Amino acid sequence: MTETSNQSGGRAILLLIAGLPVTMILASTWLWYFVERGDVDIIGALGTANSGELLAEPINIRALEFEATDGSTVGLSSIEPKWTMLLVNDGATCDTACNELLYITRQIRIAIGRDYQRTQRLLIVDTPIDLIQSNDDGGDTEGRSGDMTPLMPQLKRDHVDLNVWRREDQAVLPEGQSEPSAWYLVDPSGWVMMRYTADVNYKDVIGDIKFLLKNSGG
């Protein structure tokens, strides 16, 4: 009798173990179904601080092609998927707002800590990079002379981690969502999905990004 009971218990345990993956798949499918329908706010449920502004109509830029500083053709699809801090600058001048965003995003990426390699910074311009002038001479918000100097040497000196790509007429931001004093967060799949203005506390931004890194595979 005891032997029969042990065998029955063993089979029950094996069935339970075998059924766990199926149960997890069914549960995840159920959750995704209700997220897609809008019945479940997954971000709100997880409790992210979300100090940035979620874009109402995100745009995917993964398939777009750009020109790198060496003249080669590049795009998000040709590099490792990462969370991307996107800056967009139009025209032949990187002004005070542009330089402030360069500085802020650099400091945020450094402050992320051990997971900083899962992030990257990207500056997209519409003018040949060698023709763009900058009014920053120190990479900081203090001590600027106000004199215009070529941007590229400054980037090589103060922003070595920054990718710089030139676009033609490709839309890289949702229509009507462009703001000169803001940078944008792009997920590893290429969706431009959140906007941060320069006046948002950088500690809150770091909290947002760390949350996303912790709760995502990318």
Region 63-75: mean pLDDT is 96
pLDDT of 146 reads 62
Q: Which residue has the tokens 């063993």?
A: 10
Q: Indicate whether 34 pLDDT > 60.
A: no
pLDDT of 12 reads 56
Q: Indicate whether 138 pLDDT > 50.
A: no
pLDDT interval class at 15 (50, 70, 90)? low
Q: Which residue has the tokens 């149960």?
A: 23
Higher per-residue confidence, 27 vs 181:
181
Region 182-190: mean pLDDT is 95
pLDDT of 28 reads 45
CA atoms within 13 A on the CB side of 5: 2
- Nearest partner of 129 among 157, 146, 150, judged by Cα: 150
